[in-house]
């Protein structure tokens, strides 16, 4: 299968099926407690965090757990990509880290962006499937079944009690999905909730992938191609 085409903007590499609108950084709409996804260019994984402080047009502070090697890289002024959801739309920007600290908690300080990007994903046709996986919400992990998937998102079903953290999920929340694609391997992907249905302890979660690197996109693409070849 041919590698999925991509387009590169000044700030991020995004799938070819997206439309990207550039906006000045002064239009950044972010608040304390906002969930974000952090990726260091060239790194294999992204990391979930939340905004814990900012000085408008100067800097932002994110609480996020990072491996030591990445913290060291950022402490020297490394680049990071930040993505988040606002009113159902993905926004992102590339910026420079000022510093990292680990005490009293793990924090990253980075520059206020001069440019942000509004990413509008086109809707893809979902392919029905039965993929074993799990969802990580707060500090809990739940076994789930992925019942459909596309290049931009998936739907998962999970059974949980009313007091479980996953029962408190709302549209716009982010969490991690661990997806077993068989021969394409297991992926750990940040997702954002787009819709939720709940009935007698069963939670049906429609979600969008919030941040995929090139390898993850290629593996999902190969899985979808194999499914279409073998089921149609």
Domain boundaries, the chain: 11-121, 127-231
Q: Is the pLDDT of residue 154 over 90?
A: yes
| pLDDT band, very low/low/confident/very high, at 156 (cuts 50, 70, 90) | very high
CATH level 3 topology of 11-121: Pnp Oxidase; Chain A (2.30.110)
Q: Is the pLDDT of residue 1 over 50?
A: no
**First vs last C-alpha separation in the chain:** 17
Mean pLDDT of 190-207: 90
More confident residue, 231 or 70: 70
Q: Is the pLDDT of residue 102 over 70?
A: yes
The reported pLDDT for the residue numbered 80 is 92
Q: What is the pTM of this model?
A: 0.63
* Domain 127-231 part of CATH 2.130.10.10: no
Q: Which of 57-66, 68-77, 108-117, 186-195 has the weakest average pLDDT? A: 68-77
Same fold, 11-121 and 127-231: no
Token match 């809707």: residue? 123
- Average pLDDT over the chain reads 84
Kindly calculate the radius of gyration of the chain based on its CA atoms and give it in whole angstroms.
Answer: 18
Q: Is the pLDDT of residue 138 over 80?
A: no
């Amino acid at each position: 299968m041919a590698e999925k085409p991509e387009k590169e903007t000044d700030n991020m590499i995004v799938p070819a099926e997206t439309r990207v609108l550039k906006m000045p950084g002064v239009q950044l709409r972010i608040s304390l407690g906002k969930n974000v996804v952090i990726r260091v260019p060239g790194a294999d994984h992204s990391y979930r965090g939340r905004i814990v402080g900012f000085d408008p047009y100067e800097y932002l502070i994110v609480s996020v757990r990072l491996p030591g090697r990445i913290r060291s890289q950022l402490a020297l002024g490394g680049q990071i990509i930040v993505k988040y959801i606002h009113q159902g739309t993905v926004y992102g920007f590339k910026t420079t880290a000022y510093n990292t600290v680990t005490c009293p908690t793990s924090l990253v300080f980075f520059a206020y962006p001069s440019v942000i990007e509004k990413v509008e994903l086109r809707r893809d046709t979902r392919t029905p499937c039965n993929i074993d996986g799990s969802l990580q919400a707060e500090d809990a992990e739940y076994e789930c079944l992925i019942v459909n998937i596309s290049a931009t998102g998936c739907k998962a079903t999970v059974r949980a009690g009313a007091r479980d953290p996953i029962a408190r999920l709302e549209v716009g929340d982010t969490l991690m999905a661990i997806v077993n694609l068989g021969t394409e391997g297991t992926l750990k992907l940040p997702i954002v909730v787009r819709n939720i249905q709940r009935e007698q302890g069963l939670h049906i979660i429609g979600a969008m992938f919030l941040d995929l690197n090139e390898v993850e996109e290629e593996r999902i693409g190969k899985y979808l191609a194999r499914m279409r070849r073998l089921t149609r």
